[in-house]
Amino acid sequence: SQKIEQNSEALNIQEGKTATLTCNYTNYSPAYLQWYRQDPGRGPVFLLLIRENEKEKRKERLKVTFDTTLKQSLFHITASQPADSATYLCALPYSSASKIIFGSGTRLSIRP
């Protein structure tokens, strides 16, 4: 069955460094992959979408890569700030855009 794994439950890094989060999937050939941010007690907030024919996408300090051979996406936050502290979720369409499956998330903490 389809599976999404995010590399670690928690990641703790120094302010100013680059945070790199990993999303691996199996038994899937998704047409695209999304990253969301979730703060405690709040709903997920869409950040970036990358399609299968795109290798890399950027938005301000965020960068996402998508390797369909490795079945992996990397999510980078450069020049990290304490305000970037949150849980980051990887999400994939199950069969169509009508059904999205989320990974369990990586809790990122940026220390000053």
Integer angstrom CA distances of residue 104 from 5, 8, 16, 56: 7, 9, 26, 23
Q: Which one of 21-29, 63-71, 75-83, 94-102 is the stretch in contact with other proteins (CB under 8 A)?
A: 94-102
Residue 101 in the binding site for other proteins (CB under 8 A): yes
Distance in Å, CB of 79 to other proteins, minimum: 25
Burial status of residue 9 (CB atoms within 10 A of its CB: 0-12, 13-18, 19 or more): exposed
Helical ranges in the chain per DSSP H: none
The verdict on 44 binding other proteins (CB under 8 A) reads yes
Q: Is 28 in the site for other proteins (CB under 8 A)?
A: no
Looking at the Cβ atoms of 62 and 101, the one nearer to other proteins is 101
User: Among residues 28, 74, 78, 93, which is the contact residue for other proteins, using CB under 8 A?
Assistant: 93
Structural element, H or E, at residue 60: none
Site membership for other proteins, residue 79 (CB under 8 A): no
Token couple for 50: 């990358």
Count of residues near other proteins by CB under 8 A:
24
